[in-house]
Amino acid sequence: MTPKRVSASQLEVEPPYPPLTLLERVPGPTIGAGSLFQGRYEIVSKLGKGGFGTVYKARQVATSQLVAVKVMHAGMADDHDRRVARFQREIRLCARLHHPNIVRLIDSGRTAKGLLYTVFEFVPGENLADLLAREGPLDPREARHLMLQVLDALSCAHAQGVVHRDIKPANIMVVPTGARRNAMVLDFGIGALVDAMAGPCPSRTATPQEVLCTPEYAAPEQIEATRPTPRSDLYAWGLVFLESLTGKPVITGGSLQEVLFKQMSSTPPPIPRPLWGHPLGELLQQATVKDVRKRNVDAEGLFWKLQACDVHALRRESFLASAAGHAQQPATTLPLRPRSQGHGLALVPSRHSPKAERRQLTALCYGLTALGPGPASIDIEEVEELISREQVRCADLVRHHHGRFAGALGEEVLSYFGCNAGPEEGALAAGRAALELLARVRSQSHRLEAERGIRLEIRIGLHTGLVGNRDMRGPAYALGTTPGIAARLSALAAADTIVLSSTTSRLLEAHFALVRGGALPVEGLDRPVEVFLLRGEQTGC
């Protein structure tokens, strides 16, 4: 039997609404276009179905405005009065959220059969997940614009004591409402609903069947089944921001268990190469710290930091190139000799030098390039002469810090530190030499750019490890993986940055300001190398 449609005028003179039984059971085929939900929402179409419920596009009979009705699955519903009361209390709190970037909550409750539901305003547009799948990475300026709006929405909610619990691209609508697209955050209150039905949080790590969030964006404390906090939302926000820049989810896996393992591991989410040394990269690192106790951020503070963050120099193409570089390792790495058994590499002393010894050295590899306004503006021989002169001055600077020249190929120069000192002294000298190299090249670049429009860039990699060496009285001929890793880090470094391996960072962390940069694949090694950015020497060291 087709349910009777109710007009707005009838509603005004015939309260209360007549009880309907059509939706007082598990949502299914009986819900279709024209049916009424709770006597006041006309179902237009089914929008989708998720793990916790079904979403319908509907029209509010009284106002004719479009709404989204979310009805929880019967299997998830619980008639326990305390849990339902808690859900209704949190939903009332969500109803107080008034923000231009938060989809408005209109109604909520439960049916006679105990099915919990919420009703939100219907927002036309495309969610961020679908947008990224269709367009790929966003321009960094648009990503910043949208993520600022999401942060402002979270700041509003957190100030009211509301935690979203499930920030992800699918819960962010991108709406073409004016001259530019804007973000609208969906589903405030759904997290409260799911949490209320789950009951008290156990004090143990959740099993895959108990994860009441989206694992790819869930903070470790959510997976541990502890109560989510505003910092949990900000962790997810950081992952969504990174995905907006790269077009790919940050945390992925072949199974749910693999995803959970990655989220729970101490390895920080990787920061794309174009953000190394950039204030935006540091901001996203702060937001995605795994340990919630060390994730010392709040939505308002991140908002103002991002507001002050200039991203105009960042290019969408650089993130595409960085992603392609991770998927296909560049073929410009140094050839390294693998050992005959097992994985990774072994030190292979030269057969022609029986007196070769092994010692721990720090390899410093830097690449120096010159960029001009165009091919007609500067002659190629002039560029080569400019680079050659600058390399000579940089070599003098390396010698000043007791570094030993090892060799050069084109724009790449390799030196060793610690030939006549201990490992820590060698690493300290290499770190100081790297900072002076960077400062010198930057100074020269500013002068050349002002005079002739030419910009110099330097990329520096440092790695400490055991090497086999011959005669340290002349050029340092070293064997092993150490020079290859230093060269690889230099090749992967962003312009005007110093990248260290984790072994070098342990020798320098007490003396220099270091920033964690994630893990990078190194050709020939069986595991990624954790890297750090060297930002400066600590005062008083």
Looking at residue 129, what is its pLDDT? 94
Reported CATH class of domain 126-327? mainly alpha
Looking at residue 19, what is its pLDDT? 34
Which token pair is 87? 């859900």
**Burial track 132-149 (b if 16+ CB lie within 10 A, e otherwise):** beeeebbbbebbbbbbbb
166 is catalytic: yes
Looking at residue 168, what is its pLDDT? 94
Q: 126-327 with 357-537: one CATH topology? A: no
CA distance 134 to 128: 10
Sequence-ordered list of residues with C-beta below 8 angstroms from that of 473, at least 6 positions apart, any chain = none
Residue 33 near residue 83 (C-beta atoms within 8 A): no
Looking at residue 10, what is its pLDDT? 37
User: What stretches in the chain show pLDDT beneath 50?
Assistant: 1-29, 76-79, 196-211, 326-356, 375-376, 471-476
Looking at residue 200, what is its pLDDT? 47
Looking at residue 387, what is its pLDDT? 81
Which token pair is 5? 């449609």
**Burial track 478-512 (b if 16+ CB lie within 10 A, e otherwise):** bbbbbbbbbbbbbbbbbbbbbbbbebbbebbeebb
The annotation status of 70 as a binding-site residue, yes or no, is yes
Q: Where is 299: in which H helix or E strand? A: helix 299-307
Looking at residue 66, what is its pLDDT? 92
Q: State the DSSP code for 426.
A: H
Looking at residue 86, what is its pLDDT? 63
Looking at residue 351, what is its pLDDT? 42
Looking at residue 460, what is its pLDDT? 93
Residue 233 near residue 164 (C-beta atoms within 8 A): yes
Where does 8-121 sit in CATH, by number?
Answer: 3.30.200.20
Q: Which of 81, 107, 139, 166 is catalytic?
A: 166
CA distance 240 to 167: 8
CA distance 366 to 193: 55
- Indicate the pTM of the whole model: 0.59
CATH 1.10.8.60 fits 357-537, yes or no: no
- The domain segmentation of the chain, as residue ranges, is 8-121, 126-327, 357-537
Q: How many helices, marked H, and strands, marked E, lie in the chain? A: 15, 17
Report whether the peptide linkage leading into residue 16 is cis, meaning its omega lies within 30 degrees of zero.
yes
Which token pair is 99? 């923000």
What interhelical angle do 140-159 and 230-246 show, nearest 10? 170
Strands 529-537 and 126-127: unpaired
Looking at residue 150, what is its pLDDT? 97
